[in-house]
C-alpha cells in the first residue's frame, strides 16, 4: 500500500486496526455488537474511515443472501471485515451501506 492521507478520529473511544493502529471507527458510529464475522464476534458500524472497499460479491449468510465487499486497512492491507451493499431479505435491509469490523482485528487506540 502506498502512502495516503489518513483520517484521524477524535472521540471517547476509537477503534483501530490491530496490525498498524490506523483509526477506523468511533464507538458513536457503532450500531450493534451482536454480529459474527469470519473470526468470531464482529461489530456493525454506521461508518468507518481509512478502508479500501473491494469488488462486490454474493455471500450466503445465516440471515440470507447479501452482496458484500471486503474492506481492507488503507495502510497495511489487512482484511478487517466487509461492507453490506445489498440485502435480498427485506428484514435485513437496515444493513445496506453499513460496515462490519471483526472484533479480533480491532484495538483501542486511546
Question: By the criterion CB under 5 A, which residues form the site for Zn ion?
Answer: 17, 19-20, 22, 73, 75-76
State the minimum distance, in angstroms, from the CB of residue 22 to Zn ion.
5
State the minimum distance, in angstroms, from the CB of residue 86 to Zn ion.
27
State the minimum distance, in angstroms, from the CB of residue 87 to Zn ion.
28
Q: Which is nearer to Zn ion, 5 or 90 (CB)?
A: 5
- Give the list of residues 6+ apart from residue 101 with CB closer than 8 angstroms, or none: 15, 24, 25, 37, 42, 43, 45, 48, 80, 81
Nearest to 23 by CA among 80, 68, 67, 61: 80
Amino acid at each position: 500500500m502506498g502512502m495516503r492521507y489518513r483520517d484521524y478520529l477524535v472521540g471517547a473511544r476509537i477503534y483501530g486496526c490491530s496490525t498498524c493502529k490506523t483509526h477506523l471507527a468511533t464507538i458513536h458510529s457503532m450500531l450493534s455488537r451482536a454480529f459474527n464475522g469470519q473470526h468470531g464476534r464482529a461489530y456493525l458500524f454506521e461508518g468507518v474511515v481509512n478502508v479500501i472497499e473491494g469488488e462486490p460479491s454474493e455471500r450466503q449468510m445465516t440471515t440470507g443472501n447479501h452482496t458484500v465487499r471486503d474492506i481492507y486497512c488503507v495502510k497495511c492491507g489487512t482484511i478487517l471485515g466487509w461492507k453490506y451493499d445489498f440485502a435480498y431479505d427485506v428484514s435485513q435491509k437496515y444493513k445496506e451501506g453499513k460496515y462490519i469490523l471483526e472484533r479480533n482485528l480491532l484495538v483501542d487506540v486511546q
